[in-house]
Amino acid sequence: MKTLGENKAIELLKEVRERFRSTVKTRYETRAKDCGTCEVRGSCCVDEHFVNVHISSLEAAAIKKSVKEMPEAMRRRVIKKAGAESKRFKDEAGTDSFYFTYSCPLYDRNKGCLVHKSAKPLPCINHACYEKKEDLPPERLLESAERQVGVLNSRVYGNAWTLEPIPVWISRFFVDNWP
pLDDT in tens, 136-153: 999 999 999 999 999 999
47 found inside a domain: yes
Number of domains in the chain: 1
DSSP β-bridge partners for residue 107:
113
32 found inside a domain: yes
96 found inside a domain: yes
What was the pLDDT predicted at 178?
A: 44
Cα separation, 171 vs 97, whole angstroms: 15
- Per-residue pLDDT band for 176 (boundaries 50, 70, 90) equals low
pTM equals 0.91
Q: Is the pLDDT of residue 98 over 80?
A: yes
80 found inside a domain: yes
What was the pLDDT predicted at 179?
A: 40
1 found inside a domain: no
What was the pLDDT predicted at 45?
A: 87
pLDDT in tens, 20-65: 999 999 999 998 888 777 777 788 888 888 888 999 999 999 999 9
Three-state SS string across the chain, please?
A: CCCCCHHHHHHHHHHHHHHHHHHHHHHCHHHEECHHHCCCCCHHHHCCCCCCCEEEHHHHHHHHHHHHCCCHHHHHHHHHHHHHHHHHHHHCCCCCHHHCCCCCCCEECCCEECCCCCCCCHHHHHCCEECCHHHCCCHHHHHHHHHHHHHHHHHHHCCCCCEEEHHHHHHHHHHHHCC
Q: Which domain holds residue 23?
A: 6-177
106 found inside a domain: yes
